[in-house]
A and B are shown apart, each in its own frame.
Chain A
Amino acid sequence: MSKSQLSLGSANLDIFSKTLIDLAEKDQDILVVTSDSRASGKLTPFGKKFPNQMIEIGIAEQNLVGISAGLAASGKKVFAISPACFLTARALEQIKNDIAYSNRPVKIIGISAGVSYGSLGSTHHSLHDFAVLQAIHNIDIVAPADNFETIAAIRASVDHPRPIYIRFGKKPLLNLHENGTHFEIGKAILLTPKREQYDVAFIATGETVAQAYFASVGLSELGITSCVLSFHSIRPFDKEAVEQAASRSKVVITVEEHSINGGLGCHIASFLMEAGIFRPLKIAGIPDEHTITGNQLEIFRHYGITQEGLMESAQNLLEKGPDT
């Protein structure tokens, strides 16, 4: 399959905004709380349609999260929206204490996540969010791969019983799923046909899933079999899906728009070791260095998170084993 065989969807930001409008129409307890992020979050139409369901806090992320906790304590279904880079760094203590520790089921929405802001640089990148939030108890973590997963995750989050963090980028995405696909927070989705054995297991999350999918398609043309898991939920962590994919494969490649330290790959590596499933493994992500300047795709390409880079990683891993 080539890229032309998948249709191009919208940017997740647009889809997010439309989904919120649909939901808010039926539920007046839904509140959108923003930190001067209604424009960058494409939420201006929401604010015009539901002025009483939007609360502006100004550029003050700590206050945004603290106020959201207070609103949630009063029964509101709160979407606290700000760029992922600021929300999960500057307001981390508020997320930890006011939301997670105090068990206020706020929906924390990190927009323009990962390296979506591209050449705006490291101040605007969120390559730490999976790592820091995974170290905090009682907050689920979701990174949808396409419009379908975004709509499904936002809908599922409305009455989600725990705090949840959902992060996505700003570029239009390819549609990876057919309508009617089952989506559940905490359950990975197998994008490829199920087999007894694979050469490679790709376990990818967020906007890198499409790249893993195309790598899988490219490898099949070379006679190399693989599976692709869209691992949209970093937490709850779908152990069963990882166990099945890895144990049926010769090598495992994890893919994420995040630092290679403390993200999906590290979690999967430690899980596989503890489960006694020993496979050569590659963590594809942003390495521990000053991130190269470029747009999102250029950064992906630079660090081998595109179809070509992932195919090469798979072939190397199959032929030579892990890097030494």
Chain B
Amino acid sequence: MLERKSILYRKLILEMILNANAGHTGGSLSCVDLLNVLYNHVMNISPENFADINRDHYIHSKGHSVEALYAILAEKGFYDREELNSIEKYGSDFIGHPSRSVPGIEQNTGALGHGLSVAVGMALAAKRDGRNNRVFTIMGDGELTEGSIWEASTSAAHYHLDNLVAIVDRNSLQISGKTEDIMAMEPLEEKFSAFGFAVRNVNGHSIPDLIHIFEELPFQEGKPNMIIAHTIKGKGISFMENKVEWHHHVPSEQEYRIAMQELDEAEKKLEE
């Protein structure tokens, strides 16, 4: 059951961040349901087929939310969960942003606005070679002010990359405040449509809605796909939700215990 996995991933994320005394709590909790559905229901990516060019590809463009990706890759069997104890420790491969030194990670990210261009390159190569695999990437909504995103968008449409699936984690907060206060980017749907994407909106925390939207891919033949996933920063922990300070705040021992209790309760509700 994917809902139960989401709770497990949230626990792992908080454990990692507490252990490392660093991390991006809010953004990892906002994108974890998306990653859950992608890795467990949509994408054809596993430790066994990772060397196969015909599998699907995933680029974590919002690289700072790496803890969510680390949790899922551990559970997918790319490495032992115990390896996460080394996160951000001296000499560890598990640094604070995705790196190809970690099994299962496709591309080094961390600087914003890079993932979409690289994904366009991968999707273009697949098209040219007649492969039918797909390339997925998740971007942060604060990331969208990077001009390179819009350069990449023009290319995605120009080359009719309907095998490209770009997802915006639309939690509406970034490190300094509300995204619309920092730099207004709405109307996002109209902007991406004008750039040539087939755009869909979805509740980024509803597993059934996410499954449904991904099953509709490609949304329109010959157009790249854009999913605006409406999410809540810090989702799942009452005192973290929609709080800008939880962008990269590390929970105290007491906050960690309360958060775990909330997740235990959420798990119990699922069993009822």
Instruction: Write the residues of chain A forming the contact surface with B, with a CB cutoff of 8 angstroms.
Output: 52, 55, 57-58, 60, 62-63, 65-76, 93-94, 97-98, 101-103
Contacts and interface: CB of A to CB of B under 8 A. Distances in A.
Given A94-B114, A98-B118, A70 B148 contact: no
Interface of B: 53, 57, 100, 106-111, 113-114, 116-126, 128-129, 135, 147-148, 151-152, 154-155
A70 B118 contact: yes
A32 B147 CA distance: 24
Nearest to A97: B111
16 contacts: A63-B117, A63-B155, A66-B118, A66-B148, A67-B118, A67-B120, A69-B117, A69-B118, A69-B121, A70-B118, A70-B124, A70-B125, A72-B121, A73-B118, A73-B125, A74-B122
A173 B106 CA distance: 42
A65 B53 CA distance: 21
B53 A75 contact: yes
Contacts of B116: 66
Contacts of A58: 154-155
Contacts of B152: 63, 66-67
Given A66-B152, A97-B114, 5 more contacts: A55-B124, A60-B151, A69-B107, A70-B117, A73-B118
Classify the interface of chain A: helix, strand, loop or mixed.
helix
A199 B117 CA distance: 52
A93 B109 CA distance: 11
B166 to A, nearest CB: 13
Most buried by A among B108, B117, B135, B154: B117
B84 to A, nearest CB: 22
Given A62-B117, A67-B117, A73 B110 contact: no
The 5 closest A-B pairs by CB, nearest first: A70-B121, A66-B117, A74-B125, A63-B151, A67-B121
Contacts of A94: 114, 117, 148
Nearest to A57: B155
B107 A73 contact: yes
Contact of A93 (B111, B122, B129, B154): B111
A67 B155 contact: yes
Contacts of A71: 121-122, 124-125
Contacts of B123: 70
Contacts of B109: 97
Contacts of B100: 102-103
A73 B114 contact: no
Given A60-B151, A102-B100, A66 B124 contact: no
Nearest to B123: A70
Contacts of A74: 53, 121-122, 125-126, 129
A6 B148 CA distance: 46
A138 to B, nearest CB: 11
Say what secondary structure dominates the interface of chain B.
Answer: helix
A72 B126 CA distance: 12
Contacts of A98: 107-108, 114, 117-118
Contacts of A69: 107, 117-118, 121
Contact of B151 (A52, A62, A97): A62
Contact of B119 (A70, A75, A101, A102): A70
A19 to B, nearest CB: 22
A39 B41 CA distance: 46
Given A97-B111, A98-B117, A70 B122 contact: yes
Given A71-B122, A73-B106, A98-B107, A66 B114 contact: yes
Contacts of B108: 97-98, 101-102
A74 B53 CA distance: 7
Contacts of A93: 111, 114
Contacts of B117: 62-63, 65-67, 69-70, 94, 98
B125 A76 contact: yes
A102 B115 CA distance: 12
Contact of B125 (A52, A65, A75): A75
Which interface residue of A67, A69, A71 has the most chain B CB atoms within 10 A?
Answer: A67
Contacts of A70: 117-125, 135
Q: Which one of A57, A58, A71, A73 has the greatest number of beta carbons of chain B within 10 Å? A: A73
Given A52-B128, A97-B114, A98-B107, A73 B121 contact: yes
B138 to A, nearest CB: 16
Contacts of B121: 66-74
A55 B120 CA distance: 12
A62 B121 CA distance: 12
Nearest to A55: B124
Contacts of A97: 108-111, 114
A154 to B, nearest CB: 21
A60 B154 contact: yes
A68 to B, nearest CB: 6
Contacts of B113: 62
Contacts of A67: 117-118, 120-121, 124, 152, 155
